[in-house]
Structure 1
């Protein structure tokens, strides 16, 4: 197996493991990964469904359905713009602000805890490697029309 294939498989496995860990933690709070992605978008400011859709790279209708469920569970609320009634803003609720304090994923030290056990040298090597990979992939994205 070539080195590129090994990297591909490692990235897939890493993505899968991170997804499993996060999904298990979110399930404890009755949340899904797509819901978490939407909640992150409105964590600091209100946004429209279109803005959220672009940010999470999901269709408008998918995001609208996610927001329906989040609104039903009182994590977000919809409100019309005062100047343009066609615009609907999505904002977090007090319930979300409360649960945010309990969800490990939102805590500053979350990734520090996940990486506990790695030495500073191992962390530095990981950072350098991920930065190189990111730069390489960004170049590929810029090359595509």
Structure 2
């Protein structure tokens, strides 16, 4: 079992590194100067939350608040997001996309789909579904344990 586990881990890491490097390189090419992959990820997370905070973003991406703050500041300066203070608790700041930010995000989302979709056509639907389900389970386990193996 240990030998199998070592081999599986090595195969996973090797494949993960190739896939993520290739996708990130292609996304950088299509996003151009207007948006980084980290900024795209932050816009994606903001779009999925009704009341998004920088704390939520830092936890979702598993980075420090200072890293998130730097990305948020650049998105704010570019006019893609806006900050709104909670009326009841002025310390609480919510992040939302501006119309311009939504436009950039939607365009980038379509471009991302165009980058990834051609690769999926090499697999049958049930294999894609199985892969995505297993990958989502791995993501859930990692989030649930905070990155610790239990």
TM norm structure 1: 0.75
Structure 1 runs not aligned, ≥5 long: none
> Secondary structure, in 3 states, of the residue corresponding to 1:102?
helix
Q: Which has the higher contact order (CA 8 A, sep 6+)?
A: 2
Q: Distance in 1 between matches of 2:86 and 2:121?
A: 49
State which of 34, 39, 47 in structure 2 corresponds to 1:43: 47
Structure 2 runs not aligned, ≥5 long: 1-5
- The structural deviation recorded for 1:130 is 5.7
Counterpart of 2:68 in structure 1 is 63
For 1:1-145, list aligned pairs within 5 A.
3-4=7-8, 5-27=10-32, 30-44=34-48, 45-103=50-108, 105-106=109-110, 110=114, 113-115=117-119, 117-120=121-124, 123-129=125-131, 131-132=133-134, 138=141, 144-145=149-150
Q: Distance in 2 between matches of 1:108 and 1:33?
A: 10
Q: Distance in 2 between matches of 1:54 and 1:24?
A: 28
Task: Give me the CA root mean square deviation.
Answer: 3.1
Structure number having the greater helix percentage: 2
TM norm structure 2: 0.73
Contact 1:78 1:89 in 2 (8 A): yes
Q: Distance in 2 between matches of 1:108 and 1:35?
A: 13
C-alpha change, 1:109 and 1:49, in structure 2 (3 Å) is closer
Contact 2:27 2:112 in 1 (8 A): no
